[in-house]
Amino acid sequence: MKTLNWFNRAVALVAVSVFSFASTQSAQAGTPPEGFTALFNEKNLSGWWGLKTEDPVKWKALSADKLAEKKAASLKDIAQHWSVNGEELVNDGHGLYLSTQKNYGDFEFLVDYKTVPKADSGIYLRGIPQVQIWDSTEEAKFNIGANKGSGGLWNNSKGAPGKDPLVLADKPFGQWNSFRIIMVGFIVPPASTPIKAIRPATRVAATDRSNVPAPPTSTTTSTPTPSVNSITLSCHFGVV
């Protein structure tokens, strides 16, 4: 089975009051930048469990016993499809999404990734919704924005602020791409570095888009993105 190294290093700044990271740097293996905490320990998958695209309200409402059962079952799936290779997380393109055990509110997130042709994945901020990662050369998906590149807020409506990235910055297959994502409240401001440019926008929950106004009004939803939740790495339709 063809595999590809997925995430080189994932780090998150838990306290938004100290956004002092040197913005020209990308995520790197080893010691994280000052003020950041490594989410991946480069040894094992400690601190992670598995989720699919689902409403976080529902699984958070489970009893302690039922939630423990859900997590235990998810780890069996994660063990089949996620692994550690040196300093890198590896996914085989299948299985549940890798989700942090810890929940985050406002944060700055750094991550490096590689992708392959026809892969389609992303990073779920606070569980739902998603910063899109996909194949920007796949012509079959140009009609839904693949040719505009990775980094858009996928669950925002077409034409809404943040739906598409500011620039097409995807690197050729086999090369590392870098995201620097800041989330404060329900706003994802544009990147302040050339690492990735993401439009400012209010997040839209993937589970409910029934109350999304027309652009350019900030997008909202009757089921809002949680104020505190996990960070999730997703993979589907191909190895990423």
Instruction: Check which CATH number belongs to the domain holding 85 and give it.
Output: 2.60.120
Confidence of residue 237 (pLDDT cuts 50, 70, 90): low
User: Which residues is 121 bridged to in the sheet?
Assistant: 133, 235
Length of the chain: 240
- Tokens at residue 33, please? 């930048």
Higher pLDDT, 233 or 3: 233
pLDDT at 202 over 50: no
CB atoms within 10 A of CB 168: 13
pLDDT value, residue 178: 86
Instruction: Output the pLDDT for position 26.
Output: 45
pLDDT digits (tens, 9 = 90+) for 116-138: 898 888 898 887 668 999 999 99
| Mean of all residue pLDDT scores within the chain | 74
Say yes or no to pLDDT of 216 above 50: no
- In this predicted structure, the answer to whether residue 111 has a pLDDT above a threshold of 50 is yes
Range of the domain at 109: 4-236
- Contact at 8 Å (CB) between 128 and 225? yes
Q: How many domains does the chain have?
A: 1
Distance, in Å, from the CA atom of 232 to the CA atom of 127, rounded to the nearest integer, reads: 6
In this structure, are strands 120-124 and 88-91 parallel, antiparallel, or unpaired? Answer: unpaired
